[in-house]
Structure 1
């Protein structure tokens, strides 16, 4: 059972918007593609979890805070007396393993992914104990890309490769134990502690006046489209989306990018490139979000409180 589904990280959403609305420099574009590749790897792992035939509780994409330190966890599986913690890496190519990192043939070095596990596992252990549970934590790094090869790897490293996952989960199925009430309680407690208002501070610089306005396709990111009475039709890939959903999606994108600005019908009208009337925008905002203020100064709460870190 999936207790918490995975959502696209805010950092990726922002970089995605900026990639199509501004000109990212080479470093920023690299960050965007790395974020996108990592997220796609996590989705591939989710496909495995979605096919599991045994009883377990799955928590995806957890961001926790314990003793002043942030703990980011890609995936957890709770079953019996054990929490399985997974760090997912979507690397590709050939690497040699050394104690201080993974070395590519081009001498490019990746920090040892076990470092992240070693940092997060004790913090998670302490948090679980604080919540009143005694659970063993088993951590593994999953290399999800089948075209990733790691040489000179010691046998004792908790690494899982793509070709091992089916056999690994088959083994877990044979060893499964019934889900306890305490498992469900802990899974709910951890999900409730997930930090939803985290906003990274190392974002590219941008401002409302210079960023490209308009609505882009959620599938191919093209701004070119035609409108029928009720739908937006992408001119590039023919993706059809209701205009209501387009306005709603664009309003949330606006709030992600500019949390300091109030969401008003006039700003969303401008943000959508003047394509849809303010009256129509107001109907969508009023139907989907909580409004504040009087008629002339009404703004809307898009339910994404943001804490800058």
Structure 2
């Protein structure tokens, strides 16, 4: 049973949108690659778990918990009558080794020891026990979902705390034999009561610095021509509905500008007046909550990301997008 769905993080959404409309410095480009790789690994884990089934346990995905004075991020905790299972997901690829408790990728020591992170994450629920007067077991694994991850180790104890891609399906299948009943419910309620938004990310782009307009979802090009219901990319020939473009732009605006209110005028400037006022208004009404404030009326995106909405509604759209390799 899914308690909290996984969404693209605010940090990943920010860097993805920024990369489409601004030149990323090397450190930001590397940050985007790390975030994308991590999210891809989490989605692999989720897909396998969905296939195996999780209706008999409580499943949380990508949550931040404030427990006392500490804030901890969890990739995929699972609650059952047996207690809490903490799964830390690391989408590493290539050859790694563990020597004398230290992790190495090639000749470089990995700065964030996965097992140390797991131990830290497993320690925090101990305080939940004290705060909520509960008694439950805590166990955990580090999950490596990438098919090309390889690891050499000098201690069998290390191996027993890891789940490789080839073992993932069998590992997750075991939870179909667990149950979330009267013992699990108060544990899940305790976890839920401590969930907070990500407090560590507060970046915002400069509105005047980012590129304005609509861009191709296939190649990223901004050279678009209006084809009535569609916009056609002059670089690759892809054709996307205006609705797709405007939904992507609304999502970009939300991701990029922490301190900017999305008024109709501001949004039209953001898309470089690529569509009519009426079309823009219709999309804002459809995908946003309107906060009426006189002349300063603004709009709040009702969804977490472009990807979430597009996956949900694309099949019901009357007109379909078409990707192309050449024009």
Match of residue 251 from structure 2 = 252
The 3 A distance-change label for structure 1 pair 136 and 232 is farther
Structure 2 matches for 1:41-190, cutoff 5 A?
A: 41-53=41-53, 55-99=56-100, 101-157=102-158, 158-173=161-176, 176-190=177-191
Question: Equivalent residue for 2:289?
Answer: 289
After TM superposition, give the deviation of residue 251 of structure 1 in Å.
Answer: 2.2
With over 3 angstroms needed to count, the CA separation of the structure-2 counterparts of 1:292 and 1:199, relative to structure 1, is farther
* Residue pair 1:215, 1:272 contacting (<8 A) in 2 also: yes
Q: Does 1:272 align with 2:271?
A: yes
- Structure-2 change in CA distance of 1:119 and 1:178 (3 Å): closer
CA contact (8 A) 1:61 1:72 kept: yes
For 1:256 and 1:171, how far apart are their aligned partners in 2?
38
For 1:148 and 1:159, the matched residues in 2 are separated by 12
TM-score, scaled relative to structure 1:
0.85
Larger deviation, residues 218-227 vs 18-27: 218-227
Aligned to 2:196: 195
Cα distance between partner residues in 1 of 2:239 and 2:215 = 11
Task: For residue 289 of structure 1, give the secondary structure of its aligned residue in structure 2.
Answer: strand
Residues 62 and 75 of structure 2 are in contact (CA less than 8 Å); yes or no, is this contact kept in structure 1?
Answer: yes
Unaligned runs of 5+ in 1: none
Q: Quick one: structure 1 residues 274 and 88, their matched pair in 2 at CA, closer, same or farther if it must change by over 3 Å? A: same
Q: Within 2, Cα distance between the matches of 1:77 and 1:192?
A: 15
TM-score of the aligned structures, taking structure 2 as reference length: 0.81
Q: CA deviation at 1:99?
A: 4.2
Tell me the secondary structure at the aligned position of residue 198 of structure 1.
coil
Q: Which residue of 1 aligns with 2:40?
A: 40
Question: How far apart, in 1, do the equivalents of 2:192 and 2:27 lie?
Answer: 34
Give the secondary-structure state (helix, strand or coil) at the position aligned to 1:139.
Answer: strand
Distance 1:160 1:197, change over 3 A: closer
> Do the aligned partners of 1:144 and 1:161 also contact (CA within 8 Å) in 2?
yes
Between the aligned partners of 2:149 and 2:28, the Cα distance in structure 1 is 25
Deviation of the 1:206 alpha carbon: 4.2
The count of corresponding residues between Structure 1 and Structure 2 is 299
Q: Distance in 1 between matches of 2:218 and 2:189?
A: 33
- How far the C-alpha of 1:198 sits from its partner, in A, is 3.3
In structure 2, C-alpha distance between the alignment counterparts of 1:68 and 1:58, rounded to whole Å: 25
Deviation at 1:81, TM superposition (A): 1.9
Aligned Cα root-mean-square deviation (Å): 2.7
Q: State the partner residue of 1:263.
A: 262
Unaligned 5+ segments in structure 2 are 305-327
User: 1:140–1:116: structure 2 CA closer, same or farther, 3 Å change rule?
Assistant: same
Report deviation, 1:24: 1.1
2: CA distance, partners of 1:274 / 1:170: 51
Tell me how far apart the structure 2 counterparts of residues 110 and 209 of structure 1 sit (CA, whole Å): 37
Distance of 2:83 and 2:297 partners within structure 1:
50
SS in 2 for 1:103: strand
Residue pair 1:100, 1:111 contacting (<8 A) in 2 also: no
1:252, CA displacement in angstroms? 3.2
1:197–1:106 distance in 2 versus 1, CA, 3 Å: closer
Matched-pair contact (CA < 8 Å) for 2:83–2:187: no
Q: Which residue of 2 aligns with 1:11?
A: 11
Please state how far the C-alpha of 1:290 moved relative to its aligned partner: 2.5
Q: Kindly provide the CA deviation profile for residues 253-302 of structure 1, in whole angstroms up to 9, marking residues without a partner as x.
A: 212211211111111001112102233323332343132211x3322234
Matched, 1:27 2:30: no
